Amino acid sequence: MHVVVIVLGDIGRSPRMQYHTLSLLKEGYDVSLVGYEGEELVPSLQAQNNLTAQINIVRFRTSSPKVLRGILPIYYLWRLLNLMGMLVFSVFMRVPWPVDYVLVQNPPAIPLLLISYLYCRILGLFMPEKRPKLIVDWHNLGYSMLSQGFIKKIAEKYERAMAPLASGHLCVTSAMKDFLINDMTIEESRISILYDCPPDMFQPLSMEEQHKFLLRIQDSLHCKWQEGLANNETIFTQEVDGKIIPRPNRPVLVTSSTSWTEDEDFGILLDALISLDKRLETLRLIICVTGKGPMKEFYEEKLSKLHLEHISVHTLWLEPGEYPRLLACADVGVSLHTSTSGLDLPMKILDLFGCQTPVCALKFECIQELLQDDVNGRLFASSGELSNQLYDLLTPITGYDQTPQPHSFGKLADYSENLIGRPRWNKNWKTHALPLFKG
Q: Give pLDDT tens digits for 307-334.
A: 899 999 999 988 888 999 999 999 999 9
Report the phi/psi class of residue 279: left, alpha or beta, with left for phi > 0 and alpha for psi in -120 to 50.
alpha
Give dist(CA 370, CA 216) in Å, integer.
32
Give the pLDDT mean for 231-253: 92
Residue type, 180: L
Query: Per residue, what are the HEC states of 385-418?
Result: HHHHHHHHHHHHHHHCCCCCCCCCCHHHHHHHHH
Residue 426 burial (10 A CB sphere; 0-12, 13-18, 19+): middle
Phi/psi of residue 391, nearest 5 degrees: -65, -50
Q: Provide the pLDDT for residue 66.
A: 67
Q: Provide the pLDDT for residue 429.
A: 97
Give dist(CA 277, CA 202) in Å, integer.
31
The pLDDT tens digits for 257-283 are 988 877 788 899 999 999 999 999 999
Percentage of the chain modeled with pLDDT above 90: 72
Give the pLDDT mean for 385-401: 95
Q: Provide the pLDDT for residue 48.
A: 65
256 forms beta bridges with 289
Q: Provide the pLDDT for residue 336.
A: 94
User: Model confidence at 229, in pLDDT bands (50, 70, 90)?
Assistant: confident
Average confidence score pLDDT of the chain:
91
Q: Provide the pLDDT for residue 75.
A: 74
Q: Provide the pLDDT for residue 102.
A: 98
User: Coil, helix or strand for 346?
Assistant: coil
Give the list of residues 6+ apart from residue 421 with CB closer than 8 angstroms, or none.
none
This prediction has a pTM of 0.89
Q: Does residue 248 have a pLDDT over 70? A: yes
Q: Provide the pLDDT for residue 340.
A: 85
Helical packing angle, 15-26 and 425-432, nearest 10°? 70
Q: Does residue 51 have a pLDDT over 70? A: no
Q: Which residues of 386-406 are buried (b: 16+ CB within 10 A; e: fewer)?
A: bbbbbeebbbebeeeeebbbb
Q: Provide the pLDDT for residue 76.
A: 77
The pLDDT tens digits for 106-120 are 999 999 999 999 999
User: Model confidence at 68, in pLDDT bands (50, 70, 90)?
Assistant: low
Q: Provide the pLDDT for residue 261.
A: 77
Compute the Cα dihedral for 389, 307, 312, 398 and give only its sign: negative
Q: Provide the pLDDT for residue 360.
A: 98
Rg, Å, the chain Cα set: 23
Q: Closest Cα partner for 20 from 334, 432, 417, 324?
A: 432
